[in-house]
Amino acid sequence: MIVLDTNILIEILKGNEKTIKKVHSFSEELVISSISVMELYYGAINKAELKKLEKFVSIFKIKDLDESISITSTHLIKTYAKSHNLDIPDSLIASTALVLESKIFTYNIKDFRYIDGLELIEF
């Protein structure tokens, strides 16, 4: 299983061929955090774009937040927020990958590389 970070989803939506090709090269199941869904919806400029985003995210398995993700995220915030500026959305996305024992594909390696046990896929 591979968790796709929000920035990867944005690049797919922009039509970035390199990103699309890389994502298609994965044999593992692709998952997105419900946090990424919220980030995409929040960035929609109007209701028409929101409808397109709803259709787009429906092609992925969406992992909703649960108790394990919340507990893991709280631990990450306590451990890394002050030392590495880990923010809440990134902690929740990282926690999703940790709980699922999955890799995470992101363009923002710097946002996650210091998290113990998190396996990153670099482009």
Residue in 102, 41, 97, 34 with CA at minimum distance from that of residue 62: 34
pLDDT tens track for 38-51 = 999 999 999 999 99
Residue 12 contacts residue 23 (beta carbons within 8 Å): yes
The number of folded domains in the chain is 1
pLDDT in tens, the chain (123 residues): 999 999 999 999 999 999 999 999 999 999 999 999 999 999 999 999 999 999 999 999 999 999 999 999 999 999 999 999 999 999 999 999 999 999 999 999 999 999 999 999 987
Give the domain extent around 64.
2-121
Amino acid of residue 107: Y
> In the prediction, which pLDDT does 112 show?
96
The domain that holds 73 is classified in CATH as: 3.40.50.1010
